[in-house]
Structure 1
Amino acid sequence: MGLEESSKLLESIVSSIIGRDGVKLIKLLEDGVPRTVEEIAFQTGIRMSDIRKALYTLSKLALASTIREYSGGQYGVYQYKWILHKERVDGFINQEKRKILKRLRERMEFEESNQFYVCENDGDHRYTFDEAMDVNFKCKKCGAILKPIDNSRLRGILEKVIEEIERSI
């Protein structure tokens, strides 16, 4: 996986887990320079509490950690600086892809093993065969007869997405 592709995927995943502030944080830490929470706040404009929350989440994912530096002086103060572990990014992305792939395969199995019905008046809700049987093939909202639908288009899309993810792992 290319560095730019890896970076974009990481940003997308971090955005879904942490939010846009997490993306700003990742972009800042990508250069490999260790920074304190205060430095990050100054450079990004993000509140320190939000930075800490995002960094702790990244730490739980093993994508970031702290370095303790001694700043010297008469009383000896330690500073904690955060770094991003770029070498772990590809493994993390592949792990997330495997989770997504598992969910997509489960969805594909569900789509293949069920027959679906929908109300022509109210197409908001799809009923499985069992659900349709429970309501005597009549819509809960309007009472119209449920019609079988073809989900082959959705299965085709799922199949393509699954193949694409499998190729990228």
Structure 2
Amino acid sequence: MSEGIDLLIYNDEFPGFAYNKVTGQFFGRKSGKPMPENNDILHSLNLRLSGIGKPTDFLTVEPDPVYDRVVMNPPFGRQADIKHVSHALKFLKPDGLLVSVMASSVTFRSNKLTTDFRQLIEERGGHIEELPEGAFKSSGTMVNTVIVVIPG
């Protein structure tokens, strides 16, 4: 990774609150305990702390557009992926880039939330790439997924 890039790593396993601002530790959602192997990796990248402290609802975190890149694997249930990705876009610098795994339903649902989201992707010059069926089978899920890329 090149020097000077700020990165927010967001994953359903470690959603949004990857860093503890006070300790600089990376916490897992399920255990709520520090994950030393992840701390070592993240600290070696010399990333700016996200300012997000102990685990909380990511959607309630006040965005600060300081990140060049956001890489996400948000929760999918009840279209939470759309809500989380839309919120995470607010953390990007104007010339930043968000990349997220999402449920493939973003490509075909016709409700307002989904159609507005697809319009946002198009307006920003983003795109959606389908992943092979069963791409996450080894992780215990057969949910069909896509990769969504959205410029800031």
Normalised TM-score (structure 2): 0.29
Larger Rg: 1
Higher helix share: 1
Give the TM-score taking structure 1 as reference length. Answer: 0.27
